[in-house]
Amino acid sequence: MFWSSQSSFNRQYKQKFTKADTWDLSPLPTLNFAFVHSNLLHYPFSIIPKTGRIGKIHLLQNFSFPHTPFPAFPHPSINSCVNSDDFPCTWGTFDTITLLMSRLPPRTQAAVWDVAEEYCSVPLHPLQWPTVVARVSENSFCIDTCACFGAAPASRGYGHITDTGTNIFCANGIDPMSKWVDDHVFFRLEQEFLNSYNAKCFA
């Protein structure tokens, strides 16, 4: 469900954006944006509650708006100007995880490590800030200075970081493992199966 009123929206955005560790520049008066105002692109911005997590919220930034430009919004969407294939990375898809698990020896244990606020670890270049300005009142704006879920290249930009992390883990013998965005799956084999498993993997 979406917040039903402007007052609800204002209350939630203040809760989100006024924390000491916030990753947004917020709120800034209209005058501060005079130098970029003519270059701003428009997209819908919403805040919704997280399912099953009381007091937690999701930011929804629709960078695919408008799907087709029209007189009120004549500019193409941000996502339509970006080819996500230009940002390749490795994902542990369902098929990959299933195949990996089917080849593991008996009594193997697994653990999933979830990275909190993963996209917030990917800063945007200041030249990209005009595309991530959110108007939160008549005269106040926020800038999301980190990668956003709604942006086409964001997951793959973050994927480059996790690819590096996975390579470091594997180079130090922490393997087998796989990942999907911010979820990393680690497997622990019993000692008696290590040699035979490694021999099979590197045969």
Predicted confidence (pLDDT) per residue in 74-112, tens digit: 888 888 888 888 888 888 888 988 999 999 999 999 999
Nearest by Cα to 37 from 143, 145, 124: 143
**CB of 115 within 8 A of CB of 106?**
no
* Strand-by-strand arrangement of the 177-180 sheet: 109-114, 183-188, 177-180
pLDDT of residue 175: 85
pLDDT of residue 168: 93
The pTM of the full predicted model, rounded to 2 decimals, is 0.70
Average pLDDT, the chain: 78
pLDDT of residue 31: 42
pLDDT of residue 81: 86
Cα atoms in the Cβ-side hemisphere of radius 13 Å centred on 10: 7
Residues in the chain, pLDDT under 70? 1-42, 55, 135-140, 203
Whether the bond into 176 is cis, omega within 30 of 0: yes
pLDDT of residue 109: 94
- 197 φ, ψ to 5°? -65, -45
